[in-house]
Amino acid sequence: MAPVAVAVQQPATVTQNAQQDSKITLTPSHVKFINSQLQNLEPQQILQWAILTFPRLYQSTAFGLTGLVTIDMISKLQPQYAVAHPIELIFVDTLHHFNETLNLVDRLKKRYASAALHIYKPENCDTVEDFNRLYGERLWETDEASYDFLVKVEPIQRAYEELGVRATLTGRRKSQGGKRGDLDIIEVEEYTGLIKINPLANWSFKDVHEYMKSNDVPYNVLLDRGYRSVGDWHSTAPVGEGEDERAGRWKGKAKTECGIHETSKFAKFLAAKKVAQQEATA
């Protein structure tokens, strides 16, 4: 695909002494204007624009269908860039994934060998046994908020900090339902300033599935068993006829998100933890 000229004003004010220290500022008016300009573009065009625009851009993914399509699209941009896969990947291993998900990760490493993959786990834990020893078994039943923070929110925030992430590609789409129904293509986290880009926000499940088939993209075999959105084994179920894609996540609960995309929910907790750590080392 030839480079695409996207008619969008330079959106970010970038102060850059070194790439690792790049800082990006997007005002609300910038975000509104950018979304209006990107709204009718194809995902490949949005990806090209994002790669050219944002320093320290990564893709955070749990290797769901949309994330897999994004990885494949980026891999096909290779002739335009000095490296084969210009966006590095971040995967949070919660230690509670399905075996099928972990097997998919191994297959993807072979298929997209040039894509750098950073794997983060709950702090001080390499195995589920480590996690249970520290926090007890079935923490998701006894303290769900702490579980979400420990296995998802803290690892991804640690990844963003250690890797110097300023912007990230996500796999969220409007058609997934729930709080994602009015999703924009570009968002800025209120508390962290992290820029989130949702390149396939306007695609349907059918669009994603057709791309997967046409391009022979590896996928989680759980899809063939009725799953459409796959998370931890204990909080994921197949989706019924006529249900939203994410209806199988936390089935029977009002909950629709794990916290990774609800940073404000954990902002006070994060701030209190940081203060406590500073006081402990003072």
Catalytic residue positions?
Answer: 258
- The number of C-alpha atoms within 13 Å of 280 and in the hemisphere containing its C-beta is 6
DSSP 136: -
Name which of 218, 222, 255 is nearest 239 in CA terms. 222
- For residue 6, give both structure tokens: 């996207």
Q: Based on C-alpha coordinates, what's the Rg of the chain?
A: 19
Q: Hey, what amino acid is at 277?
A: Q
- The number of C-alpha atoms within 13 Å of 77 and in the hemisphere containing its C-beta is 25
Q: Hey, what amino acid is at 108?
A: L
Q: Which residue has the tokens 């320290």?
A: 56
Q: At what angle do helices 65-75 and 205-214 cross, to 10 degrees?
A: 50
Name which of 41, 42, 51, 11 is nearest 29 in CA terms. 11
Q: Which residue has the tokens 């990806």?
A: 47
Residues sharing a CB contact under 8 Å with residue 252, sequence separation 6 or more, in sequence order: none
In angstroms, the CA 103 to CA 122 distance is: 20
